[in-house]
Amino acid sequence: MILKSLLLSLVRYKAAADDALLDAVRACADTADPTDHAKALRLLNHIHVVDRIFRAHLTGVAHGYTAEAPPVPPIATLAEAIRATDRWYVDHVAASDPATLDEPVAFTFTDGQAGRMTRAEILAHVVTHAGYHRGEIGRLLPGVGAASERDVFAGHLHRAEPARRMQASAAVA
């Protein structure tokens, strides 16, 4: 059960970090360098496509993506799609039987290579892959600095569960 609890915390963190970054990217659209803003949107779209590909692997359905990057939709459309996919991951982990998290899933990468990961490894990959690229976006767009500075798991846990601070204070005293 501890693995499921950890994975649920991680996908909730990813959803919150994605949400904050989407708002920040949208807010700096008029002030950011247009080339860097376009790169940031491409990275957000890449994160989303990878999330959708691994969602398909988890559910056993074809995803339809190829190694070629799909066009980047408008920010409002992309944000809605990212948030919906993040909700799916949270709901999926919450409903998962902990015993299934160690099950291997065989799949084919978009480059045609065979792949095999456990369900837990796929979920961890989705979280860490997105975090890597959110950091890249934070470096591209100085205007999203506040969202990037808060994009850490420990910070998320304490914002999501403020009682942790009180419990920590009591333990130290």
129 is in an annotated binding site: yes
Side-chain-side CA neighbours of residue 59 (13 Å): 13
Which tokens hold the place of 165? 């601070």
Q: 89 to each of 47, 124, 162, how far by Cα in Å?
A: 14, 11, 23
Which tokens hold the place of 2? 């501890």
Handedness of CA 58, 62, 64, 66 (dihedral sign): positive
Closest CA to 7 of 158, 105, 122, 115: 122
Closest CA to 18 of 69, 64, 81: 81
**Which residue's structure tokens are 């910070």?**
155
156 is in an annotated binding site: no
Binding-site residues for a divalent metal cation? 46, 129, 133
Binding-site residues? 46, 129, 133
